[in-house]
Every structure is written in structure tokens, then in C-alpha cells.
Amino acid sequence: MVRRKNLIAANWKMHKTVSEAVGFVRELQKSVGTFDDREVLIAPPFTALLAVSKELSREDFFLGGQNCHWEEKGAYTGEVSVPMLKDVGCRYVIVGHSERRHIFKEDDEVINKKVRAAVKWGLVPILCVGEMLEEREAGKTFEIVSDQLEKGLKDVDLLDGRSVVIAYEPVWAIGTGRTATPEQAQEVHSFIREKLSGSYGKDIAHSVRILYGGSVKPSNVDDLMKEEDVDGLLVGGASLEVESFRRIIEYQQKG
């Protein structure tokens, strides 16, 4: 089977003006080495998408949205549709991030609508799943992740494993400085791949990239990326500084 190409994604959340975003991307592209086994994704705020799109000049760098609406157009003040994201050059869109689930109260039904919309209009959704601290301590990690995965992918027809990316982000590790150990990450990633195999078959499950997100930083990236089923990273705070994110992109290769 063909080896999955790793994806290192920067989720800037509500950070960076247009000029700051452009300057960052310009400097990052110059400083990062060339690799044939990984790709880089930048997900800036909506206001900076077009400017960043115009600045991206490397074939291994891609643009993504941090969120989307499930309708193509309509009277939804403040929302952004998948076709709009495609129009400014997006290849990916983050869906179901824990902050959308817990701060903005998006449930699995809403998240599923967004996943289906992304696939329908040709964007790759990065579906985020993960448990809260009390759920992990109660031994419910697999139950929660399985439920979110099943509901998030309901009625989603994956033509191949490149149609969707899964991001495991334990909520207790996001922005807290606490990180799942490489072994904990691998355990959940392996479980996710087995679930995908049961729903879509081994070939597709093998092709789906599963990212880890949760207090990723230069000091832990090498160990995380050595795990067999960790196919990349969804990086928050550590993606906001060029040198920090460059080091994460240039993690030591497996093997």
C-alpha cells in the first residue's frame, strides 16, 4: 500500500491581521525545507484567506478554512459557505473543532451537515473528534470518539481515503500545556483506523490521514510523529510563530 503523506496543519484561530498573515507565510515558505513525505496547511482567519492564498507559492503548502456553513448560500448572516472557501483557494476546512463544539454548542448533527457539504462541493473536511478530561478519567475515550466519528461521518460516501481527514484532539490537552503521550495518541489513532476499516474497508481506512491535535510543540513533535498511525498534526498556539512552526514542520522522519 502507498504510504500516507503526512499533513502538518496550522489553525490560527482568531489571530493575525491580513498583513501579519501575509508576512508570516512569506517568511515560512522561505525557511522550511523541501520534503516529499509531508504537506503543510495554513488555516488563517476568514479575513486573511484571500491574501494568504495569493501568497502561497509552494506546491506542498495548502489553504484551509477554520469553519464553514452547510448551505451553499442564503440568509445566514455572518456565515461562510464551502463554495466561498473554494473560491478563495481553500483545499481543506476544519469541522467540529472542540471550540466549535463546546463554546458555540455545535452538535454532531450540525457537524455532520458541514462534513457532507464539504465533501459534496469538493473540499476535504478535517473532522475533529476527542474526549473531555472527565470522559477520559471515566474510561469513556473510545466510546466518545466512536460516537463522534460515527455521527460525524453519517451518510458520507468516501470515494477514497483522501476525501476526509480525521483529527484526534483530546479536549483536555488543547491549550492547556498537557499533551497526550505518543502512546495515548497512537492507541486512539489505531482505534479510529479500525473503526474506519469496519465502515469503509481496509483500503480506504489505510488511506485516511489521522492527525493529532492538543498542545503540540517543538519539544514533543518528533516523538508524536514516530507513531505508526499519527499522520500529521493540527497545531494551535505553536503555529503562530514562524520558528516554532518551522521546527514542527521539520520533525524528524520516522524510521
Can you say which residues are annotated as belonging to the binding site for substrate?
A: 11-13, 175, 215, 236-237
**Residue 169 annotated as catalytic:** yes
Rounded Cα distance, 232 and 151, in Å: 23
**Residue 194 annotated as catalytic:** no
Rounded Cα distance, 178 and 164, in Å: 27
Q: Of 39, 99, 106, 169, which residue is the catalytic one?
A: 169
Q: Of 39, 55, 69, 97, which residue is the catalytic one?
A: 97
Enumerate long-range contacts of 52-55, CB under 8 Å, 24 or more apart.
52/21, 52/22, 52/25, 53/88, 53/89, 53/90, 54/89, 55/22, 55/25, 55/26, 55/29
Please report, in range form, the residues annotated as the binding site: 11-13, 175, 215, 236-237
Q: Mind telling me the catalytic residues?
A: 97, 169
